[in-house]
Amino acid sequence: MAERDGEIIARGYDQVADEYEALESAGKPWPRLERVRAFAADLPQGSRVLDIGCGNGVPATQELALKHEVMGVDISEEQIARARSNVPTATFICGDARDVDLPVGAFDAIVALYLIDNFAREVYPAFFRHIKKLLKPNGRVLLSAEPGDDPWQTYTWLGVPMFINTIPTDELVQLLQDAGLSVASNEFESQLEGGRPIEYAWIVAENPG
């Protein structure tokens, strides 16, 4: 992702912070909180967890921070400001997840929820190798991504230009495996976004060491 793409994405998420929050209806919550709970259920208390593309920290970072030492990373200053206020016990870095400096081999678990749709597909191999390096041996990652085959380009999303890319899930799974991660599960679940159903793949992968 070129610097300019990063600027467009950061500015977009700054501008749509309220609209993004409003996409999830209280009566029909997205599956992310239950997915995060299941993913983290057997993590020992005090594990080190990284939330990449953490957004405003609600609900995933907040849930993880109840029991763990959590770090959140996001490219949008507005999202990070909200996350700091919503989850005061976690630490946050505002930066581009592709090249931000993070401790290697330090994390028991990583979550990246609805993030990689904002990356060009070409970035995935290097990003997944990076995730593997950040994980401890036997550490695991939870990813969600919308299945599809849409090209990397700007679309108008919530009224702002936003870079979005989708990939067939079998190709995504292959890229994770090519990066040395072992895919433990891959499930599809639909959620309502502003009343519209959108399906996501939910993938758990492990670092065999």
Ligand X SMILES: C[S@@+](CC[C@H](N)C(=O)[O-])C[C@H]1O[C@@H](n2cnc3c(N)ncnc32)[C@H](O)[C@@H]1O
**Structure token digits, residue 76:** 């949008």
Q: What part of residues 21-60 is at the interface with ligand X (CB under 6 A)?
A: 32, 53-55, 60
Read off the tokens for 107: 């994390």
Tell me if 130 sits within 8 A of 72, measured CB to CB.
no
Question: What's the closest the beta carbon of residue 47 comes to ligand X, in angstroms?
Answer: 19
Q: Of residues 115-154, which lie at the interface with ligand X (CB under 6 A)?
A: 115, 118
| Omega cis (within 30) before 59 | yes
Give least dist CB 183 to ligand X, A. Answer: 20
Stretch that binds ligand X, among 41-49, 73-81, 135-143, 149-157 (CB under 6 A): 73-81
Of the candidates 141, 67, 66, 139, which has an alpha carbon nearest to the alpha carbon of residue 97? 141
Binding-site member from 13, 39, 152, 200 for ligand X (CB under 6 A):
13
- DSSP assignment letter at 103: -
Beta carbon nearer to ligand X, 49 or 113: 113
Helices (H), 66-160: 77-86, 124-134
207 binds ligand X (CB under 6 A): no
> Shortest distance, CB of residue 182 to ligand X, whole angstroms?
23
Question: Total number of residues binding ligand X (CB under 6 A)?
Answer: 21
Of 13 and 128, which CB lies nearer to ligand X in the complex structure?
13
Among 47, 62, 79, 207, binds ligand X (CB under 6 A): 79
Residue number, 53 or 139, with CB nearest to ligand X = 53
Q: Show the tokens assigned to 45.
A: 């208390």
SS3 sequence, 175-196? HHHHCCCEEEEEEEEEEEECCE
CA 78 to chain centre: 17
Which residues of the shown chain bind ligand X in the complex (CB under 6 A)?
Answer: 1, 6, 9, 13, 32, 53-55, 60, 73-76, 79, 96-98, 113-115, 118
